Amino acid sequence: MNEETDFSAFIKNRITELRCQKEISEYTLSLAIGRSQGYIQSISSGRILPSMNTFLDICKYFDITPTEFFDPSFQNPTLLHSIISDISKFSEEDLLLLSSVLKRLTRN
């Protein structure tokens, strides 16, 4: 498998992963980003790659940055963004408490 094939596979797999996390069909995503109903299916089948503009539309739809799209360790970005939004409303005291709990939970 060459580097281009690996890149294509990553793109289609990442779109599928994000789509499944949001529980939407290829058809729904295609229409949501303003493309024909079979557009995402064409990417998923490996027939095409999205243009840069379409890639950015996909990132915008999922409310992620291109960096987050390409970071495989960034799991379920929609949920993480929601959590970060909620946390940003915490008082400093609550943030310190949350930090202590997180450190305890992630301690190995």
pTM given for the model: 0.74
pLDDT in tens, 3-34: 657 888 999 999 999 999 899 999 999 999 99
pLDDT at 77: 79
CATH fold, domain 1-73, is: 434 Repressor (Amino-terminal Domain) (1.10.260)
DSSP track, 78-91? HHHHHHHHHHTTS-
Q: Are 40 and 29 in contact (CB under 8 A)?
A: yes
The tokens for 34 are 């303003």
pLDDT in tens, 49-90: 999 999 999 999 998 999 999 987 877 877 888 888 899 999
Amino acid at 100: S
